[in-house]
Amino acid sequence: MLKIDPKKIYFLDVEDDDCLFVDGKIKGSNITKESFNEKTAEKYKDAEVLSTFITSELSGKNLSKCPNLKLLVTRSVGYNHVDLKWCDENGVKVCNVPDYGAHVIAEHVFALLLASTRHIIEGEERTEDDSFRWQGLRGIALKGKTIGVIGTGKIGLHACRIASLGFLMDVIAYDPHPNKDMAQEYHFDYVDSIDEIWKRSDIITLHTPLFPSTKHMINEESINKMKDGVCLINTARGGLIDTKALVKYVKKGKFGGVALDVIEHEKNLKKDKELLHLPNVIITPHIAFYADDSMGCMYNEAVLSIERFINDEELVHQVIGH
């Protein structure tokens, strides 16, 4: 067992409603709403273990203010907000939570999709204005439509399942590492080229991590290959979409609908101001993950990683470190 002072274990980015998930799990540890960033890092200079969320700024510059840091646990699937190079060079082990409710995020995909294709928000606004007119709100049926799923990790696979077995859609998917067994079980087909997704899909949903190779995968070139009237859904990472290109083609009427749970500049909404107010675009504030059972699982998995680290056991969700 490693000698870790519980007082040097910090859970940051914890909302009031979530304190019960953490309180008492590791006795003596610290719980705060505060995020870890350039302004707050000095407060945690004695930290040996940090557990944070995507709202924290985990650059090497900020983390260097914690010279005794041994373990960093991000309570998220993605870890592009963590300076992995710095952590590796400084002997800091990094863990994530690879699945705290993939089905929850996939469900939100279809909440967004239905809201977009069936004009749910506009219809609600009309009734709020004492108008019960249906004219102009004709939607599209999902049955028989082709949905292109980019990325078939846990979330993408759930999206394939819901689309195929639930809505009876034709599902095509692109992934550099296809899961052919699940494709057979969930009745979807892989395509050899991402261009087939652009060209064949009536609806496109993104489920890939944000890497340099995937940044701005939705851009002028890819949009021009898409069908007119295509519906685009993104619950993955905002940086997958070139916002300027998206705004340009929404204005041109290229898209039948755009529904986003993530945007490129979530920490500086002024940069995405035009996108936020475009008609035919629905945006939710990064809440796809935010459901009761998923939050509990998120904290339990994070605590498990910390407990295994303290007990000098193998870290099952380790991203980097030896």
Instruction: List, for residues 162-194, the tens digit of each pLDDT value.
Output: 999 999 999 999 999 999 999 999 999 999 999
Give domain status of residue 316, yes or no.
yes
> Is 134 found in the same domain as 26?
no
Same domain, 93 and 107: no
Query: 1 lies in a domain?
Result: no
Do 70 and 184 sit in the same domain of this protein?
Answer: no
Q: Residue 99's pLDDT is what?
A: 86
H/E element holding 94? strand 93-95
CA–CA distance, 317 with 307 (Å, rounded to integer): 12
Q: What are phi and psi of 14, to 5 degrees?
A: -100, 120
Q: How many domains does the chain have?
A: 2
Task: Place 321 in a pLDDT band, splitting at 50, 70 and 90.
Answer: low
How high is the pLDDT of residue 149?
98
Domain match, 118 and 246 both: yes
90 with 108, same domain: the answer is no
Cβ(131)–Cβ(108) below 8 Å: no
| Domain CATH for 201 | 3.40.50.720
Say yes or no to pLDDT of 320 above 80: no
Confidence (pLDDT) at 2 = 75
Domain residue limits at 155 = 102-283
d(C-alpha 306, C-alpha 81), whole Å: 20
Residues 6+ apart with CB under 8 A from 95: 71, 72, 73, 74, 302, 305, 315, 317, 318, 319
Name beta bridge partners: 10.
30, 50
Rg (CA), the chain: 21
Nearest 5°: the CA angle 47, 296, 93 is: 35
For position 322, what pLDDT does the model report? 54
Q: What is the mean pLDDT of residues 248-273?
A: 95
Known catalytic residues are 237, 266, 286
Asked if residue 35 and residue 112 are part of one domain, the reply reads no
Cβ neighbours of 172 (radius 10 Å): 20
Work out the average pLDDT over 148-166.
Answer: 97
- Judge if 76 and 108 occupy the same domain: no
Same domain, yes or no: 202 and 275 = yes
Please state whether beta strands 146-150 and 170-174 pair in parallel, antiparallel, or not at all (unpaired).
Answer: parallel
Q: What is the mean pLDDT of the chain?
A: 94
Residue 95 sits in the same domain as residue 15: yes
CB of 171 within 8 A of CB of 187? yes
The pLDDT value recorded for residue 180 is: 95
The pLDDT, as a whole number, for residue 100 is 84
Measured distance CA(29)–CA(154) in Å, rounded: 31
DSSP 220-281: HHHHHHSPTTEEEEE-S-GGGB-HHHHHHHHHTT-EEEEEES--TTTT-GGGGHHHHT-TTE
Please give the structure tokens belonging to residue 190. 């892989």
Contact 174, 193 (CB under 8 A): yes
Residue 197 lies inside a defined structural domain of this protein: yes
pLDDT in tens, 15-33: 988 888 888 888 899 999 9
166: in domain: yes
- Is 76 within the bounds of a domain? yes
Identify whether 176 is part of a domain. Answer: yes
Confidence of residue 207 (pLDDT cuts 50, 70, 90): very high
What's the token pair of residue 37? 């960033």
Give pLDDT, residue 94. 97
Dist CA 10 CA 57 (whole Å): 15
- Helices (H), strands (E): how many in the chain? 12, 13
Instruction: Please indicate, yes or no, whether residues 83 and 211 belong to a single structural domain of this protein.
Output: no
Residue 173 maps to a domain: yes
Are the beta carbons of 12 and 36 closer than 8 angstroms?
A: yes
Residues 156, 157, 162, 167, Cα dihedral to 10°? 80
